[in-house]
């Protein structure tokens, strides 16, 4: 599959949040903590080969706190499609925290935890079937579905190896499910009640341990934009039908 190029218009605002006391000679000390704000307009909010915005324009805002030690924390807000994340507000929030080290002009590295939420959004899941008994004979006359709601909330471990503008990223799902993919949501999506019943009889399955590997290159355009090319492979544990290459 051809790797999409996503044009981004970004504005970076560097705000020193804390500075060390000035040295005795009167020189300025380098700040220990910075806050970076980035605002992006996206032609398509596309990640891992899939569009989060139904192939429509989107917007993203991110606030990042960087410490001189290499520790960082980031909050990202992304506009997503309400049709793809039903019941939600059309917003994705992602909180990340971790550690970076190395030389940004040559080899540099990152290890982080990512927690992603879609406020209000949830999928319909099929937890089980309840037997319906005849009030007179006591025999089973029907099966009634027991529905549940499954949120696409996901927690992942991210490791990144970079050289200059090239980067290789690895993600592994630590939460119970990867974006709400489990046997409850898969079985509920089957239109035939018999097939959905047989699906549940295979036992509960979750997608913890899913992995994604991505190679990317970013080309900066002036001071306020960039072009980025990516190629990646997503593997969803226990649900190979959701594996993708992008």
Q: Which residues contact 175 (CB under 8 A, 6 or more apart)?
A: 153, 154, 155, 156, 208
CA dist., res. 2 & res. 200, Å (int): 37
Amino acid 114: pLDDT: 98
Amino acid 224: pLDDT: 67
pTM: 0.81
Amino acid 47: pLDDT: 84
Amino acid 4: pLDDT: 42
Amino acid 27: pLDDT: 53
Amino acid 22: pLDDT: 46
Amino acid 17: pLDDT: 43
Q: Which residues contact 223 (CB under 8 A, 6 or more apart)?
A: none
List the end-to-end C-alpha distance of the chain, in Å, as a whole number.
6
Any idea which residue has 């999409």 for tokens? 4
Amino acid 54: pLDDT: 87
Mean pLDDT (10-residue bins), the chain, 246 residues: 41 42 53 91 85 90 96 97 90 97 93 97 92 87 90 97 95 97 94 89 94 93 79 95 91
Amino acid 30: pLDDT: 63
Amino acid 73: pLDDT: 98
């Amino acid at each position: 599959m051809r790797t999409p190029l996503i044009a981004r218009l970004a504005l970076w605002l560097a705000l020193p949040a804390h500075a060390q006391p000035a040295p005795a000679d009167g020189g300025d000390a380098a700040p220990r903590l910075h806050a970076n704000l980035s605002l992006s307009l996206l032609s398509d909010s596309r990640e891992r080969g899939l569009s989060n915005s139904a192939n429509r324009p989107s917007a993203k805002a991110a606030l990042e706190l960087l410490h001189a030690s290499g520790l960082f924390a980031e909050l990202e807000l992304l506009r997503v499609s309400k049709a793809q994340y039903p019941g939600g507000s059309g917003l994705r929030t992602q909180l990340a925290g971790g550690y970076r080290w190395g030389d940004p002009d040559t080899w540099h590295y990152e290890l982080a935890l990512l927690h992603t939420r879609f406020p209000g959004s949830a999928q319909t899941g099929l937890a089980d079937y309840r037997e319906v008994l005849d009030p007179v004979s006591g025999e089973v006359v029907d099966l009634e579905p027991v529905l549940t709601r499954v949120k696409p909330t996901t927690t992942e471990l991210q490791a990144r190896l970079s050289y200059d503008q090239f980067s290789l990223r690895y993600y592994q799902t630590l939460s119970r499910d990867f974006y709400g993919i489990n046997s409850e949501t898969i079985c509920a999506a089957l239109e035939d009640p018999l097939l959905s019943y047989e699906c549940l009889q295979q036992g509960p399955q979750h997608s913890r341990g899913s992995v994604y590997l991505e190679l990317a290159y970013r080309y900066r355009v002036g001071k306020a934009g960039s072009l980025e090319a990516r190629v990646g492979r997503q593997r969803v544990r226990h649900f190979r039908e959701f594996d993708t290459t992008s």
